[in-house]
Amino acid sequence: MITSARWRRGATALAALALALIPAAAPAGATEPAAAPLVQHRQLPEPPPLEQVRAELDELVVEAPHSMDGYSREKFPHWIRQYGTCDTREVVLQRDGVDIVQDNQCRAVSGSWVSPYDDKAFTDAKLLDIDHLVPLAASWRSGADTWTTDKRRAFANDLAHSQLVAVSAASNRAKADKGPDQWRPPLRSYWCTYSRAWTDIKYVYGLSTTEPEKTALNEMLDTCV
């Protein structure tokens, strides 16, 4: 059963996404469309504290993975427009970087990033991927196969929780759609944040877990000090 607290958190996330999708009104008397507003810097959403996450993990349904029959990334529409011409990818690149400069199409043309998975530094946005911390395919195997397209869209573009992060393309490709029992960030110091975020995302969206995944998450949570 989804608790009222979880329902409120999920509803808040969906409401925030809906507001973000509302185009900005044109200035009074304007004869031409206003220039696309550049994204303002925002902090990466912090996962809940350890004690809360432990409780969330205990509430996750433990079951075998669902079938991948019917899965397609196209069933999780992304990257959607968030502000003006800025899509979800550009929002995350701006949010997670330092001294980011964007062009009038919201593309990051300069700045610097450090991938939290492997501690590698970058100055070229093209070398970065935006990772779905809980991968789309992993969510399908744990309950998203029953969702509506609207809910999958919200999940794939969730800026309210710790679901999206700019990382090195190499680490993202190595991870692919693996769970914590199959892949962990090479940077061990990130395991605490990673496992808290993974658990919270699954809890907020009512996704299930497997026994090996739950064991791995508990091991990673043990690194939190």
- DSSP alpha helices (H): ranges in the chain? 4-20, 50-59, 88-96, 136-141, 149-156, 169-175, 191-204, 211-221
Whether 217 is covered by a domain: the verdict is: yes
Distance CA 10, CA 81 (A): 21
Whether 166 is covered by a domain: the verdict is: yes
Whether 62 is covered by a domain: the verdict is: yes
pLDDT for residue 24 is more than 70: no
Distance of CA 23 to CAs 63, 186, 203, Å?
41, 40, 30
Within 10 angstroms of residue 48's Cβ, the number of other Cβ atoms is 19
Closest CA to 168 of 130, 195, 134: 130
Specify the pTM. 0.82
Q: How many domains does the chain have?
A: 1
Q: What is the CA radius of gyration of the chain?
A: 18
Whether 169 is covered by a domain: the verdict is: yes
Band (pLDDT 50/70/90 cuts) for residue 43 is low
Whether 15 is covered by a domain: the verdict is: no
Cα dihedral across residues 187, 192, 198, 204: positive or negative: negative
Band (pLDDT 50/70/90 cuts) for residue 30 is very low
Query: Rounded to 5 degrees, what are φ and ψ at 98?
Result: -125, 135
- Average pLDDT over every residue of 151-172: 97
Whether 93 is covered by a domain: the verdict is: no
pLDDT for residue 6 is more than 90: no
Residue range of the domain that includes 63: 46-77+132-221
On whether the CB atoms of residues 120 and 168 are closer than 8 A, the answer is yes
Within 10 angstroms of residue 167's Cβ, the number of other Cβ atoms is 24
Whether 25 is covered by a domain: the verdict is: no
pLDDT for residue 12 is more than 60: no
Whether 119 is covered by a domain: the verdict is: no
Distance CA 54, CA 27 (A): 48
Closest CA to 164 of 52, 82, 49: 82
83-90 contacts at long range (C-beta below 8 A, 24 or more positions apart): 83/20, 83/24, 83/36, 83/37, 83/39, 84/23, 84/24, 84/35, 84/36, 84/37, 84/38, 85/36, 86/36, 86/37, 86/38, 86/39, 88/130, 88/156, 88/157, 88/159, 88/164, 89/130, 90/39
pLDDT for position 32: 33
Q: What pLDDT, in 10s, does the model give residues 109-154?
A: 999 999 999 999 999 999 999 999 999 999 999 999 999 999 999 9
